[in-house]
Every structure is written in C-alpha cells, then in structure tokens.
Amino acid sequence: MRKGGLYILRLKLLSLSLVSSLVFFTFGTPVAAAIDRETKEEREARYKMMWEYATDAERYYMPTEVKAYACGLSTNDFIFFARVVEGEGADSDENITDKVLVACSVLNRVNCKSWPTKTVISTLKRPGQFTVVDRETGECNLARSKDSEWAIVIAYRMVEAGEVDCHMVYYNSIGFTGYSRAFTNYAYCGGNYFSVIPCDCEYCTAKMPDWKEEDVEMVDFEILRPEGIEPNYI
C-alpha cells in the first residue's frame, strides 16, 4: 500500500474511532453492550487492524490488551510479564535497553528446548529466578509502565528476527561470575550483566546453526523508545 493510501486509511480509522466515542457518550449503555457481545474472533480482528495500520508511536500508547494480543499472550500474562520487566530492568530517560534485554532473556528461556519451563508465566514464576517475584506466592505486586510493556513488544521482535543471541538466558546484577564462571559475557546495561551459555537443543541449533561460544563478543547497542515518546516508567 502506498503511503498516501495508508495515511487515508489511518484517517478513516481515526474518524471511526471518534464517531464510536461520540456515540458512546451519547447513548452510553447500548454501545458498551455491543462491545460486550463482541466475539473473540471479532475482537482479535479489531486488534489486528489497530496494530497493523499504526505507527510504533501509536502502538506504544495502545491499550494493554492490544499489545498482549500482538505478542500472542493473554492480557493477564502480559501484565505479569510487564511487572517483572519493570522491576528487574533499569529506568532510563535515554533508552529502554535494559528492560528489553530482560524480556529477551525470558523469551529465550521459553524458546530453548533445554530449559525446564515452556511458557512465559511458568518461566517468570520459577522459584529463585526473579527477585521481584515472591518465592512463596509466585506473585509480583509491582506496578508496570508503558516502558515495560513496550520493552516486551520490542523483545518479541528482536527474538523473532534473531537480533539478540538466543543463548542469552541469564542476567544478574552481581557480575558475570555471580552465578557461575561457565557463563560468557554478552552485555552490560543498567546494572545488569547478561550472559550466554552453550546449548545444542533443536531450537537454538536451528536459530544459530554456526554459533560458537568462543566467537561471542560483548554487544553494545541502544534501544530507543519510538520517536517523540517521552520516558514512561514508574
């Protein structure tokens, strides 16, 4: 689709949204009831259209349930994930790099066939792994932010595109030898030390078939918020 056509489509979607809002405030309950009757398929189709025909600056401020849909997570799981990322990642006015790398390490664990947990929630609630998750209750009572929500969106993109080493499954704030001297240095950001470990599982081998631990070098990149977006952390 040409830029002109995309721009017109965005205007139409915006107009539709404004009309819906006007109708809601005019008639209230009937519109709310119609949304309540929306089927799962209709709701997902609406979320898909909202996501696909938006800029990242627009997506950043979209409702949590839309971001969760874009990541293939339930809203509750996405919220829990964002709370953990908020607590484990560093706040920064300049970038969201640390939060994104924290989210990437979680997704790498989920994808790795050698890792004992296979879902985001079971990975986050695995005892002793994340300091902001209560060992006994498995709860994380921290507030999330738009930064931590967006960090998860970007992490999914980076992991899917192979922009971060799939072997990066560990991080800590003590140092690269905080847990084991077998880890290999990968990144340092916001007080967190990120490390990679060898793995020959089906996923890791397919993702990076030529990977060799001795070839791993420290990465130094900066992940920014969408253009024009100010810091939104707690």
Distance CA 228, CA 197 (A): 37
Nearest alpha carbon to residue 130 among 221, 122, 65: 122
Cα–Cα distance list, 191 to 72, 121, 204, 216, 224 (Å) = 30, 24, 27, 20, 18
Indicate whether 181 belongs to any domain.
yes
Indicate whether 223 belongs to any domain.
no
Buried b / exposed e along 120-154 (16+ C-beta atoms within 10 A): bbebbbeeebbeebeeeeeebebebbbbbbbbbbb
Q: Are 155 and 187 in contact (CB under 8 A)?
A: no
pLDDT value at residue 23: 40
State residue 186 phi and psi, 5-degree precision: -130, -45
Cα–Cα distance list, 16 to 28, 54, 69 (Å) = 16, 14, 21
Q: Are 192 and 171 in contact (CB under 8 A)?
A: yes
What's the token pair of residue 30? 């009937």
Domain count for the chain: 2
Q: What is the CATH number of the domain that holds 178?
A: 1.10.10.2520
Q: Is the same domain home to 18 and 67?
A: no
Question: How many residues are listed for the chain in this entry?
Answer: 234
Contacts by 43-47 with C-beta closer than 8 Å and gap 24+?
Answer: 44/69
Alpha helices (H) in the chain, listed in sequence order: 3-27, 29-36, 40-52, 56-60, 64-70, 75-88, 97-111, 120-124, 146-161, 202-207
Quote the radius of gyration of the chain (alpha carbons, Å).
20
191 in helix, strand or coil? coil
Q: Is the same domain home to 168 and 64?
A: yes
Q: Is the same domain home to 31 and 44?
A: no
Q: Is the same domain home to 54 and 117?
A: yes
Indicate whether 18 belongs to any domain.
yes
Q: Is the same domain home to 46 and 109?
A: yes
Side by side, which strands form the sheet with 192-196? 168-172, 192-196, 184-189
Indicate whether 229 belongs to any domain.
no
Q: Is the same domain home to 9 and 95?
A: no
Q: Is the same domain home to 32 and 45?
A: no
Under-70 pLDDT residues of the chain: 1-35, 175-181
pLDDT value at residue 37: 83
Q: Is the same domain home to 44 and 28?
A: no
Q: What is the pLDDT of residues 124-139, one digit of tens each?
A: 999 989 999 999 999 9
- Domain assignment of residue 17, given as a range: 1-37
Distance CA 148, CA 78 (A): 10
Q: Is the same domain home to 10 and 45?
A: no
Indicate whether 134 belongs to any domain.
yes
Which residues, 6 or more positions from 229, have their beta carbon under 8 angstroms from its beta carbon? 57, 60
Indicate whether 193 belongs to any domain.
yes
pLDDT value at residue 12: 46
Q: Is the same domain home to 71 and 159?
A: yes
pLDDT value at residue 34: 59
Q: Is the same domain home to 85 and 148?
A: yes
Q: Is the same domain home to 13 and 65?
A: no
